[in-house]
A = this chain, B = another copy of it.
Amino acid sequence: MNNILIIGCGLLGSSLLRRIHKKKIAKKIFIYEKSKSNILKIKKLRLPCIVIDKLDKGVVNYDLIIFCTPMSEYKNLILKINNFISSKTLITDIGSSKIETSKLIKKYLKKNIYWTQSHPIAGSEVSGPEHGKENMFQDRWCILIKEKTTKKRNLNILNNFWKKMGSKVIVMTTEKHDKIFSITSHLPHLIAYNLVKSAQDFEKKQNYDLIKFSAGGLRDFSRIAASNEIMWRDIFFNNSNNISKAIDLFIKNLTEFKRDINLKNNKSILKKLIQTKRVRSKILKLKQDINKPDFGRV
């Protein structure tokens, strides 16, 4: 490719930038980033890119535009790029939910422009270009979204692109994507936030200094609950239907656990505690985690 534009150069945007540069995928990489503090970091880090300060009638024809901002910024950005974009440009994004973005694209993006959604399963609890890294997507899944209007050619281009990023690519619909990730990612994050919130409420009420004893479990959740709040608000709002159902299932199961505990129902609780181990074995078998005991990170 000649020109790639990355909109939003935080943790993942800057990781794409680093990898695109390393693998020589584009002659020029352009960055549009609204945060002045991020721009300063990008310059200080000497990331190999051209920072543009306006998204308007460009002189550049982009082969690929990648949206790496929180999803709540998409609408305004679409309205801006509509002014200069041509049908030669392929657009993608790395957002964590897909149905709402699909609606937005249909409603606001100029006709005859193609946007095929991506979702690389990568990230961390930290944000910002200083934490990005070239191998962020290595051996991670990347979901490509196929809709009725999706061109096979565009899927192929993005498939090649993500493979060069190091990812394993899989194609699914927006509906399937949003259901799966409501359970494997969105609910776990919400639960982590909720657990930390509950610990705070408890600490306030009891006036106990309990955080210092967090090594027994709370600590691991607090890490997840330190993730970027704008990104997660957007995900929770965009995938609210599926997350709402996931919460209901979660509360139903937790209420059953509570009953088992209060009634000391040995058979029922042991069955559950043993069953969950099977998921762990499966996760290890699928190499989604390493089989190394965790004694706390020190």
State the Cβ distance, A67 to closest chain B Cβ, in Å.
Answer: 19
| Chain B residues closer than 8 Å to A290, beta-carbon distance | 297-298
- Is A247 an interface residue, CB under 8 A from the partner? yes
Which of B236, B253, B261 sits near A198, CB closer than 8 Å?
B253
Which of B199, B233, B237, B295 sits near A279, CB closer than 8 Å?
B199
Chain A 77-113 per-residue mask, 1 if CB under 8 angstroms from chain B, else 0: 0000000000000000000100000000000000000
Q: Number of A interface residues, CB 8 Å?
A: 106
Decide yes or no: A222 and B297 within 8 Å by CB, A141-B215, A198-B250 being known contacts: no
A selection of 20 A-B contacts at a CB cut-off of 8 Å is: A124-B293, A179-B208, A181-B216, A184-B213, A190-B254, A191-B254, A193-B257, A197-B272, A200-B275, A202-B246, A202-B249, A211-B279, A211-B288, A214-B286, A219-B289, A225-B279, A229-B274, A244-B262, A251-B255, A290-B298
Chain A residues in the interface with B (C-beta under 8 A): 96, 121-126, 131, 133, 136, 139-141, 143, 176, 179-181, 183-203, 206, 208, 210-226, 229-230, 232-233, 236-237, 240, 243-244, 246-247, 249-251, 253-255, 257-258, 260-262, 264, 266, 269-270, 272-280, 282-283, 286, 288-290, 292-298
